[in-house]
């Protein structure tokens, strides 16, 4: 995913600064010419007889010290945590499991909708074939380009028969296995790119290379790509 370049800071051109200074000087010249000459100093008045200093006010009438201004509480770390955050990182060893699988492709703009439709097809096929689903739905991303991606949508099932009677678009496959790192995304699918950017930065910081294989596991299924209650665990396989 492309990381946007930071916008350069705006700087005032030197020529604008020079013109501003010149304009201030032109405005100051007529004002100086119109300033009246100072009046001659008046004759000094006779010094008044100094009065005796007044006594200090009693201690109980002294000016009270100002009350201290309370310091506002600092925001909690949870409140400052962005939606795309790679702080909840957990190394994990993924084991292969049997899964009812539907393979497809999607454009980036309709990616979430296409994935949810594939999962709905899997649920219907698992029910028709009498397969027991034992885990959350998964998407294994096989390849990506500027236009879209190819994927395997999966439902982990318990002990499928040796020769299950499945529809033409479905098959039993094994989920990917190997060393992976688990990340959490807790926001809308529209914001998931920020999580992948945080993942990329974390892998670079740790000097880890990915296998160009990653899984999204949907702990719940949002009402749409803008549902901020969506919970997705992302597993990135590393070398």
Digit-coded pLDDT (tens) for 135-181: 999 999 999 999 999 999 999 999 888 888 999 999 999 999 999 99
Q: What's the farthest any 2 CA atoms get from each other in the chain?
A: 122
- How confident is the prediction for the chain on average, in pLDDT? 76
pLDDT class of 71 with cuts at 50, 70, 90? low
66 falls in which pLDDT band (50, 70, 90)?
A: low
Stated pTM of the model: 0.65
Which of the four pLDDT bands, split at 50, 70 and 90, describes residue 236?
Answer: very high
Would you tell me how many other CB atoms lie within 10 Å of the CB of residue 85?
A: 19
The residue written with tokens 């190997």 in the block is 178
Contact 209, 239 (CB under 8 A): yes
Closest CA to 139 of 160, 155, 120: 155
In this prediction, residue 139 carries a pLDDT of 98
Nearest-Å Rg of the Cα atoms of the chain is 36
CATH architecture of the domain covering 90-238: Alpha-Beta Barrel (3.20)
What are the residues facing 210 on neighbouring strands?
238
Sheet holding 98-107, edge to edge: 90-94, 178-185, 232-238, 210-218, 138-144, 148-156, 98-107, 171-174
The average pLDDT across 14-41 equals: 39
Summarised one tens digit per residue, pLDDT across range 81-114 is 444 455 579 999 999 999 999 999 999 999 999 9
* CA atoms of 188 and 83, how far apart (whole Å): 9
Produce one character per residue of 90-105: b if its CB has 16 or more CB atoms within 10 Å, e if not: eeeeeeebbbbbbbbe
Distance CA 120, CA 125 (A): 9
Are 237 and 180 spatial neighbours (Cβ–Cβ below 8 Å)?
Answer: yes
Q: Is it the case that residue 26 has pLDDT exceeding 70?
A: no
Give me the long-range contacts of 191-196 (CB less than 8 A, separation at least 24).
Answer: 191/83, 191/84, 192/84, 192/232, 193/1, 193/84, 194/82, 194/83, 194/84, 195/83, 195/84, 195/85, 195/86, 195/234, 196/1, 196/84, 196/234
Distances (CA, A) of 3 to 63, 77, 193: 60, 25, 9
Q: Can you tell me which residue has the tokens 């008045």?
A: 45
Residue given tokens 């600092």 in the structure block = 74
Q: What is the mean pLDDT of residues 14-31?
A: 36
């Amino acid at each position: 995913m492309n990381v946007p370049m930071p916008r350069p800071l705006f700087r005032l051109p030197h020529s604008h600064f020079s013109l501003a200074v010149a304009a201030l000087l032109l405005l100051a010249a007529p004002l100086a010419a119109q300033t009246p000459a100072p009046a001659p100093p008046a004759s000094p008045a006779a010094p008044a007889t100094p009065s005796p200093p007044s006594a200090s006010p009693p201690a109980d009438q002294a000016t009270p010290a100002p009350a201290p201004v309370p310091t506002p509480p600092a925001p909690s770390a949870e409140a400052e945590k962005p939606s795309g955050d790679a702080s909840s990182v957990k190394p994990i060893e993924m084991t292969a499991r049997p899964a009812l699988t539907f393979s497809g492709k999607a454009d980036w703009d309709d990616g979430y909708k296409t994935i949810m439709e594939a999962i709905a097809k899997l649920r219907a096929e698992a029910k028709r074939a009498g397969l027991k689903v034992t885990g959350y739905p998964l998407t294994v991303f096989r390849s990506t380009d500027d236009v879209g991606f190819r994927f395997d949508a999966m439902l982990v099932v318990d002990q499928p028969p040796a020769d299950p009677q499945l529809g033409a678009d479905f098959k039993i496959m094994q989920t990917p296995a190997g060393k992976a790192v688990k990340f959490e995304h807790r926001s809308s699918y529209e914001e998931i790119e920020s999580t992948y950017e945080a993942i990329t930065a974390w892998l670079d910081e740790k000097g880890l290379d990915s296998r160009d294989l990653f899984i999204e596991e949907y702990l719940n299924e949002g009402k749409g790509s803008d549902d901020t209650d969506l919970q997705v665990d992302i597993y990135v396989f590393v070398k």
